[in-house]
C-alpha cells in the first residue's frame, strides 16, 4: 500500500474570508451523527506530538482532519462492504459508518507545522513542537 497524504485543515476563526459551508463542502463530507470512535494513541518526544488512530478499511478520501480552537477533529466513514446476498451473522465486532474523534491540543501547538499520513490502516498525525516565526510582508 502506498503512502497517502491526508490534508489537515485549519479552520479560520474569522469566517469573514470564506463561508463555513463552503469549506465543509470542499474538504469534508457532512457525516451527520457519528456511530463510533477509532482507537487512539497519543505519545510525544521532545520535538513532536504523535497521534495515531486505528482506521482499518477507511480510505483517505473518506477522512477529514481539522484543527479549530485548540481541538483536533478527525472524522470520516468506514463503508460496509459485505456481500448483498442473504447472510447469517455469527459475530459482529467491526464498526461501520461515520466516526468522529475530538482531541484537545494545547493552544501553543495549534499553529505549528502539522503532518498527517494514512498507511496500512493507521492515520498518524504529527504536531511539531518547534514554533517557527512567520514573516509578514508589509505592503507600501
CATH of the domain at 70: 2.60.40.790
What is the domain range of residue 8?
1-13+33-79+97-132
25 is a domain residue: no
Instruction: Output the pLDDT for position 15.
Output: 45
Q: Quick one: pLDDT at residue 112? A: 86
Residue 57, sorted as left (phi over 0), alpha (psi -120 to 50) or beta, turns out to be left
* pTM greater than the 0.75 cutoff: no
Write out the chain's pLDDT in tens, 140 residues: 456 666 666 665 444 444 443 333 334 555 557 889 999 999 999 999 999 999 999 999 999 999 888 899 999 999 988 788 888 888 888 899 999 999 998 888 878 889 999 999 999 999 999 887 777 889 87
Quick check: is 125 in a domain? yes
Q: Within 10 A of 118 (CB to CB), how many other CB atoms are there? A: 20
Amino acid at each position: 500500500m502506498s503512502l497517502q497524504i491526508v490534508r489537515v485543515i485549519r479552520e479560520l476563526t474569522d469566517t469573514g474570508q470564506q463561508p463555513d459551508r463552503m469549506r465543509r463542502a470542499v474538504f469534508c463530507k457532512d457525516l451527520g451523527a457519528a456511530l463510533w470512535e477509532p482507537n487512539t494513541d497519543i505519545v510525544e518526544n521532545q520535538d513532536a506530538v504523535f497521534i495515531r488512530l486505528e482506521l482499518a478499511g477507511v480510505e483517505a478520501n473518506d477522512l477529514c482532519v481539522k484543527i479549530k480552537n485548540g481541538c483536533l477533529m478527525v472524522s470520516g466513514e468506514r463503508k460496509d462492504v459485505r456481500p448483498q446476498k442473504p447472510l447469517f451473522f455469527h459475530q459482529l465486532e467491526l464498526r461501520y459508518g461515520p466516526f468522529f474523534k475530538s482531541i484537545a491540543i494545547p493552544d501553543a501547538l495549534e499553529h505549528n507545522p502539522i503532518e498527517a499520513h494514512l498507511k496500512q490502516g493507521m492515520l498518524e498525525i504529527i504536531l511539531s513542537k518547534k514554533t517557527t516565526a512567520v514573516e509578514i510582508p508589509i505592503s507600501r
